[in-house]
Structure 1
Amino acid sequence: MCGMPQQPPVRSTSAPPARPDASMSLLTNVMDHSLDDGYAEAARRRREAGEGGLPRTLRAKLGLAAGLVLAALVVTVGAAQARVAAPVVAKEREELIDRIERETAAADELESDVDKLRDDVGARQREALRHIGGGRTDLMGMLSGAAEVHGPGVKLVVNDAKESDAGGDSDPRGTSGFSDTGRVRDRDMQRVVNGLWESGAEAVSINGQRLTALSAIRAAGDAILVDNRPLVPPYTVLAVGDGARLSSKFQNSADGLYLHALRENFGIRNTISVEDDVRLPAAPSVIVRTAEPITESAQPRTEKGTS
């Protein structure tokens, strides 16, 4: 049998149908790849690291809300603690006030006791003076400062220079705690008081402080102390004695001329006037001392030693 020769299979050579958007290849590529590969890779990495999931704005709002909640919680807890601690603070304050009041009352009581004891000591001292002085009790009380005195005398007022605060660093009068030459010093008042005593004063006081034979005039910084009590200018010195004679003799004495030199050279102000009646208080405390003659038997004996 003659077979028919086999024919090779016929393959269709027809092309696939064209895409409708073939003419819009650029637009199609933009739509298929809307996110750049680099950005897409970065987004993928953030998602893998757990950083993605929420927009940045939303994360910021959530963080702010969390901060506000935390702040409100802290304020609430603080207010609660303050309410709890308020009674304790009030109690401690009341206890402190009560303690201050008790201590103040105790100090007032002690001060009252000191005044009573001072009065008692003064009375005992005056009694001792009367016992020792005999018929000269008034004279003893006046000279010792244990009794108030009044009578004719002089009034001497000593004050700093008007512009005493404008002094320089140099001090031609030396250093004794005062940097200003226009200030009255302790040694100035010492000379004034000693000059009045020497001129015949029977009793002297400075700013109401009665002076005795044991009184001390000292300086503490810029302050003048009389028997450890600070005084402030102007310094008013009262002296009991023959007014006219006392004033004249003092002004012509070395101490009166010294006071005049202070006024001329440093502007220290001072005035003196004769008074018909000046009153001096008693000294706050007087030390009563007695002296006895030394007898021959009371004298110390010297013994010869042996070698």
Structure 2
Amino acid sequence: MSLLTTVMDHSLDEGYAEAAARKKDSGTTGVPKPLRAKLGLAAGLVLAALVVTVGAAQARVEAPVLAKERSELIDRVESATADADDLEDEVDDLRGDVSARQRAALEKHGGSRAELVSLLSGATAVHGPGVKLVVDDKKEADQGGGGPRESAGFSDTGRVRDRDMQRVVNGLWESGAEAIAINDQRLTALSAIRAAGDAILVDNRPLVPPYTVLAVGDGQKLSTRFQNSRDGQYLHSLQENFGIRTSISAVDDARLPAAPSVTVRTAEPKAGKGTS
């Protein structure tokens, strides 16, 4: 009976009692660990939701300001573009007026040879039989320099150079061309073909390949003479050795525009010194 009494009076082990007493003294609650983990996760989610909510609210506040700035920038770009277009139209009108005045001056002072002078100076548009010569870069032409032609101001990268087009034009003049245009850019006695990087400039206007050269003259004869000339053979060499693509054909009606502006220059004989 004393054993049963002892079991009834001390149902918990003394070790458990001591552990419970320590928890009570340290203030630790009896919340299970899984529940504590869930409570921590819930607190983290609440904090994250709070951050997202604050960020969204701030974005809604700043959105009208950004939209306004973007709209103002677009308006400025469109306004500047419109101004540039207006200036370009004004320049074209002025060029047309200058060309008309130049043609009138040539007709007034050229006498019976006014038409010929106007033609040779490029002041008027012309059309007639001639040749069409197309010069283009090699397929997948390299942008770099170097190579056998570099020492002579060229490169063998497969790109057409300004010196190439100079020789083409000079060869056509020498072969009997009466008027020449490259990509609708009329050439005159004062025209210059230059380079700016990899671009070719004709009278300071950049052109892009393919370069279409129209020349007015006796079509078939002009074509034959050019191909047999030194410059024609040079162009053929570029095609054979560097992959430059070329084609030439006679045309019945080549139409060349007038030069955008013609500088008219006059010369007077200088009076010599008298002799006794």
* TM category, shorter: 0.7 to 0.9
Q: Which residue of 1 aligns with 2:83?
A: 106
- 1:185 and 1:94 map into 2 onto residues whose CA distance is 44
- What secondary structure does 1:291 align onto? coil
1:67 corresponds, among 44, 56, 69, to: 44
CA shift for structure 1 position 263: 3.0
Distance 1:169 1:126, change over 3 A: closer
Distance 1:99 1:70 in 2: 43
Query: SS of the counterpart of 2:129?
Result: strand
Task: Kindly indicate whether the alpha-carbon contact (under 8 Å) linking 1:177 and 1:220 is maintained by their aligned counterparts in 2.
Answer: no
Q: TM-score, normalised by structure 2?
A: 0.80
User: Could you tell me whether the CA contact under 8 Å between 1:47 and 1:53 is conserved in 2?
Assistant: no
Match of 1:174 among 144, 147, 150: 150
Measured at CA, do residues 34 and 276 of structure 1 come closer, stay the same or move farther in structure 2, by a change above 3 Å?
A: same
Question: 227, 231, 247: which is aligned to 1:251?
Answer: 227
Aligned: 1:34 with 2:1: no
Structure ranking higher in helix proportion: 2
- 5+ residue gaps, structure 2, are none
Deviation at 1:202, TM superposition (A): 1.6
Q: How far 1:226 sits from its partner (Å)?
A: 1.9
- Find the partner of 1:222 among 180, 187, 198: 198
State whether structure 2 residue 249 is matched by structure 1 residue 273: yes
Deviations 1:180-210 (A, max 9, x none): 2x33322111111011112222211112111
Partner Cα distance (1:264, 1:90) in 2? 58
The change in CA–CA distance for 1:95 and 1:65 in structure 2 (over 3 A counts) is same
- Cα distance in 2, alignment partners of residues 224 and 248 from structure 1: 27
Q: 1:95 aligns with which of 72, 84, 98?
A: 72
Q: Which residue of 2 aligns with 1:240?
A: 216
Pick closer, same or farther for the CA change 1:44–1:186 going to 2, 3 Å: same
Structure 1 portions without partners, runs of 5+: 1-17, 298-307
Partner of 2:182: 206
TM-score normalised to structure 1 length: 0.73
Query: May I ask how many residue pairs the two structures share in their alignment?
Result: 271
Structure 1 vs Structure 2 CA RMSD: 3.5
Task: Indicate how the Cα distance of structure 1 residues 91 and 257 shifts in structure 2: closer, same or farther if over 3 A, else same.
Answer: closer
Change (3 A) 1:45 1:287: farther
Mapped partners of 1:103, 1:164: distance in 2: 36
Counterpart of 1:139 in structure 2 is 116
Superposed displacement of residue 270, structure 1: 2.8
Partner of 1:196: 172
Equivalent pair of 2:128/2:217 in contact (CA under 8 Å): yes
Question: Structure 1 167/282 Cα, relative in aligned 2: closer, same or farther at 3 Å?
Answer: closer
Distance 1:111 1:44 in 2: 92
How far, CA to CA, are the matches of 1:153 and 1:203 in structure 2? 9
Change in Cα spacing, 1:158 to 1:105, as seen in structure 2 (3 Å) is closer
Match of 1:20 in 2: 3
Match of 1:289 in 2: 265
Inter-CA distance 220–77: structure 2 relative to 1 (3 Å threshold): same
Shift of 1:32: 3.5
Preserved CA contact (<8 Å) 1:223 1:231: yes
Matching of residue 187 in structure 1 with residue 134 in structure 2: no
SS of 1:276's equivalent in the other structure is: strand
